[in-house]
Amino acid sequence: MLRFATRRLGFVVLTIVLSSMIIFAATQILPGDVATMVLGRFASEEAKTNLRHELGLDRPLVVQYGSWLGNFVQGDWGDSISTRTEIRPLVFERLKNSAVLAAVAFLFYVPVGIVLGLIAALRRNSWIDQTISVGSLAFIGLPEFVSAVILITIFSIELGWLPSQSAIDPGTSWVTAFPKLILPAITVALTSLAYIVRMTRSSTVDVLQTDYVRTATLKGLPPYRVLFTHVLRNSLLPTITVVAIGVGWLMGGLIITESVFNYSGIGRLLLFAVQRRDVPLIQATALLIVLIYGVSNLIADVLYAVLNPRIRYN
Amino acid sequence: MSERNVTVEGISGDPAPQPRGQRPSTRRLVWRRLVRRPAALVGLIVFCFFLLLAVFGPYVAPYDYQAQDVKVRLQSPTVQHPFGTDQFGRDILSRIVVGSRNIFLLGGTGTLLAALIGTAIGLASGYAGGLADEVIMRLLDVLLSFPSLLLALVLLSSVGPSNLNLVLVVTILYVPMIARVVRSMVLDLKTKEFVEAARVRGERRSYVLFREILPNSLPPLLVETSMRFSYSIFLVASLGFLGLGVQPPPPTGACRSMKPATSSPSRPGPCSFRPAPSPFW
């Protein structure tokens, strides 16, 4: 088990290092001159050279990459070009906001998804199952910016129950800010919800058809015991993987959802950095997201192996 | 039930084969299956509808997609403008119809390129095996370790949004996924007797790859490619929404869905995002 985990960890570390190279290469080597960006097109050549020197852009790329990664690991993420402030506190502030949003979404879609998936599986081919399956399929095909706009139209404009903009002032407590979190959280949750429902349904349907479940039913166990001790323990395994991988999905969904709702999370920060071509900020944010994504995949793998001894391959 | 029987016969091959004329043709089979599964039929019809709309869009659109009429700006749906009008009084229906063309074209080209390159990489990597295979697959895994929208944003941030770059981004994102599918098929087929037979009878490598392995890996490849195509439309629309998709002159469908949020005149909204001033754009 330990060997499996270390092996996976090794792969994740390697992947993240390679990803950092891609991020660095994509943002640093490709066209566009930061000095011209910052100082404007009419700045003197001397000023540009000075700025490049100050930012370390005149060094060889390998050296630049090495010092960038080294500084990142040591916690020195540099200054943002567009806001002229230190990047790390900015990114962590935004990450905290995103984490809260993701947590609210998570607490909503995981239980609801599992329950809906189970109902669909237990009432297979009935109209309930049809409704749940078709409904979840429809949500998979619905981009966040569409579902967000629909939700805003219904709950903010027509009913007036919830705010349509979720800009949260720093310092407000999460309790007072909670109503602002509901619509973005639902938007983020909808796509992931559909995946959980489908995964739970299909794996439960498989487990329900196994011999040991039939034996359990035939030997007279009450249905709830069959469900909890025989079915769920096996059928929720794939769902766990989907939940952990869902963190990556959340990250993608957050970029769009946060910009619709004006929510100051890490996704909108990344978009802001991209629009301003703020290279250090793009690099730090992107690498952090890749890091989170990689770690959540690692957790998914290890968790899966812990819960399912049959999978401990080497 | 009968549909299943036909398939089984087709695969196992009857000991006394029926005369050719009596066996249902592939086209018939496909048609019969479609009719039995209403969901698939509905999907096909919807897809064809949008495909036709994309192809003939400019001819069926009721208005010119860039014609502005300030008198009717920001209208709710009316008979003249079934989907209403935007802040410049342009007909939204026409803009969606014309814009769907871009999305189809960009997503489609990107996916097609990804399918070609991905298949080539998957075939080569899977067939070569060993260290080369390991290295190639690990590198592709790195691309897969990015959430796709993140990678798209990072790439577009440096090269700038243009149609060509959008296509390339879609390609880069989907090559690893398609390569993986093809590779896994190759690994499986490589050990099959008919491939071994071809090798033993001295066929050239290209023959084994393209005449024996490739045709047999087509079904999963086609499924993956069509899935990717639908996701690519998603991706291009999302990027369009973020202001990094198709740039202002021609419209994309995605921008239009922002109507409620952009209608406040004080806030321009993401659709009016112009690339930051840079000598390269």
Q: Give me the sign of the Cα torsion angle A204, A210, A216, A221.
A: positive
Q: Give me the sign of the Cα torsion angle B91, B97, B102, B103.
A: positive
Q: Which residues of B touch A157 (CB under 8 A)?
A: 260
Domains of chain B in sequence order: 101-281 (1.10.3720.10)
CB contact under 8 A, B142 and A15: yes
Q: What is the pLDDT of residues B186-213, one digit of tens each?
A: 888 888 888 888 888 888 888 888 888 8
Chain A residue with the nearest C-alpha to that of B231: A141
Contacts of A213 (CB under 8 A, 6+ apart): A207, A226, A230, A231
Q: Give the whole-angstrom CA distance, residue A186 versus residue A105.
A: 6
AA identity, residue A263: Y
Closest CA to B208 of B220, B195, B191: B195
Q: What is the pLDDT of residues A149-200, one digit of tens each?
A: 888 878 777 777 777 776 666 666 666 677 777 888 888 888 788 888 888 8
Is the pLDDT at B179 greater than 80? The verdict is yes
CB contact under 8 A, B153 and A144: no
CB contact under 8 A, B139 and A41: no
Q: What confidence score (pLDDT) does residue B113 get?
A: 94
Beta strands per DSSP E along A124-172 = none
Kindly report the CATH number that applies to the domain delimited by A92-307: 1.10.3720.10
Which of A230-239, B19-28, B49-58 is least confident? B19-28
Closest CA to A113 of A198, A196, A177, A15: A196
Q: Which residues of A touch B84 (CB under 8 A)?
A: none
The distance of A44 to chain B (nearest Cα, Å) reads 15
B141 part of contact set with chain A, CB < 8 Å: yes
Q: CB-CB: which of B142, B150, B275 is closest to A289?
A: B150
- Per the prediction, chain B carries an average pLDDT of 75
Q: CB-CB: which of B241, B257, B278 is closest to A32?
A: B278
Domain boundaries, chain A: 2-73, 92-307
Q: What is the pLDDT of residues A253-299, one digit of tens each?
A: 788 888 888 888 888 888 888 887 778 888 888 888 888 888 888 88
Q: Residue A267 to residues A142, B173, B227, B231: CA-CA distances in angstroms? A: 19, 19, 26, 20
Q: Which residues of B touch A255 (CB under 8 A)?
A: 149-150, 153, 242
Assessment of whether the complete model's pTM goes beyond 0.80: no
What are the φ/ψ torsions at residue B85 (nearest 5 degrees)? -130, 160
Chain A residue with the nearest C-alpha to that of B262: A260
Q: Residue A65 to residues A18, A37, A70, A291: CA-CA distances in angstroms? A: 12, 21, 8, 17
Q: What confidence score (pLDDT) does residue A32 get?
A: 57
Q: Give the whole-angstrom CA distance, residue B270 versus residue B273.
A: 5
Q: Give the whole-angstrom CA distance, residue B251 versus residue B65.
A: 8
Is the pLDDT at B262 greater than 50? The verdict is no
To probe the interface with A, which of B96, B150, B226 has the most A CB atoms within 10 Å? Answer: B150
CB contact under 8 A, B279 and A36: yes
Q: CB-CB: which of A15, A36, A249 is closest to B145?
A: A15
The distance of B84 to chain A (nearest Cα, Å) reads 16
CB contact under 8 A, B257 and A289: no
Beta strands per DSSP E along chain A = none
Q: Region A80-89: what's the mean pLDDT?
A: 77
pLDDT band at B258, cuts 50/70/90?
Answer: very low
Q: Which residues of B touch A163 (CB under 8 A)?
A: none
B residues 168..227 contacting A (CB < 8 A): none
Q: Residue A198 to residues A5, A115, B39: CA-CA distances in angstroms? A: 28, 11, 16
Q: Which residues of A touch B270 (CB under 8 A)?
A: 259
Q: What is the pLDDT of residues B87-111, one digit of tens each?
A: 777 777 777 777 788 888 888 899 9
